[in-house]
Structure 1
């Protein structure tokens, strides 16, 4: 069996600043989106045969030409994304092939440097029977819950908390059911949508390298990581 990946890349990334949409900001001469696709392709055990990318409307042809050299013999489909992330994922999900796909990954282009082994762990867990899988890393900061006035309400036990990354993996029918349910108000990822329809979400080990480029200082971290990899 084979896997497909959906990459929502239509967001502006306002916290990152600048006029270029986040997925197309460059690190080391290539866009974050190119780095993300290249990293996914390196996960050979994932058997990725289809990449579906949702981009700002009007940029489909340009992005298709940019990504074609990096997908090898896999199918590349570029679609217009929506105003919000769930809409972009749905637009991409609508064109993912049905036959022969046993795992669909959903991956943030902003997590452009995920190691191959982290990707492969997600796919392996889905193929082992999990309906939804997320890669996670331990939370190292103390987390406080605060009320409307800004006062601390309580402090969760840090040992029970993890930070969730991407790519997240799903049994195809489960992901389609979650999106068909339309319960996306307030959701922050596709795993949360699956939780809302009663699906158990399994965790696997993530990677510190799978950080999300969100703010300008994250670009500096990405440049440093890329330089280190190129020297290795």
Structure 2
């Protein structure tokens, strides 16, 4: 079976307070996208890599990823889209027809370990066409709705929401990437959901959601705490500590 990974790296670094794309933000001396690419390559289960990046930066990202000695697999960098869903779709257009397994990963999760990559890919290869890694929910979660009595929060007070349900957290998982798919299933899911891709408020937040919309099952394997998502400066600091532990 041939496995290709799509690495989405087209996001901005706005919430990190940077004036460059998030994927190029430094973490322990290397850009986030390179950390992610090295771990995908180190898994030994990925045969090729497609990286999606902000338009106009393909050459720069190709230099960072494609020329790195530790990314010892073919790398192609292409323009991403305006949403994550659109970026993955752009990457899918460059997946060879003979590919059987597609992993979709985010450069914003740069420390996802090689063992996690292998776990997801192996689950797809053993007959599960859509697989996501997930961690148990440790906090109590409440589902809320606007106050049914129509009593709005005071203009000078805190926003108040009404709790309508407390889901059983034992049945909840915090989903990570890489997510793994049978190629044909992922292509079908993106084709069916293409109308959502252009607008951020409509676009799927992960590819498994598009598969679910087809009515197909999605399975979960154990995630990893190192596959944390970097969104804020605090996340970057925590990730830096993890990098120091690795060295």
Provide the TM-score with structure 1 as the length reference: 0.94
Shift of 1:116: 1.2
Deviations, residues 25-73 of structure 1 (Å, cap 9, x unaligned): 11111011000001111101x1x12110110100001110111115644
Q: Runs ≥4 in structure 1, deviation > 6 angstroms?
A: none
Match of 1:142?
140
| Counterparts of 2:212 and 2:69, CA distance in 1 | 33
Secondary structure of 2:82's aligned partner:
coil
Unpaired stretches in structure 2, ≥5 consecutive residues = 148-160, 197-201
Match of 1:221?
238
Question: How many residues get paired?
Answer: 227
Deviations, residues 185-213 of structure 1 (Å, cap 9, x unaligned): 34210000000011100110110111000
Of 202, 211, 218, 2:219 maps to: 202
After superposition, residues 154-169 of structure 1 pair within 5 angstroms as 154-169=165-180
Secondary structure of 2:95's aligned partner:
coil
Shift of 1:13: 4.0
Secondary structure of 2:141's aligned partner:
coil
Change (3 A) 1:84 1:36: same
Structure of larger gyration radius: 2
Of 124, 129, 153, 2:164 maps to: 153
After superposition, residues 113-152 of structure 1 pair within 5 angstroms as 113-149=111-147, 150-152=161-163
Are positions 1:173 and 2:173 aligned together? Answer: no
Provide the TM-score with structure 2 as the length reference: 0.88
Q: 1:9·1:108 contact (CA, 8 Å) conserved in 2?
A: yes
Q: CA RMSD in A?
A: 1.3
Which stretch of the first structure deviates more once superposed, 8-17 or 152-161? 8-17
Q: 2:13·2:19 contact (CA, 8 Å) conserved in 1?
A: no
Shift of 1:107: 0.1
Unpaired stretches in structure 1, ≥5 consecutive residues = none
Match of 2:101?
103
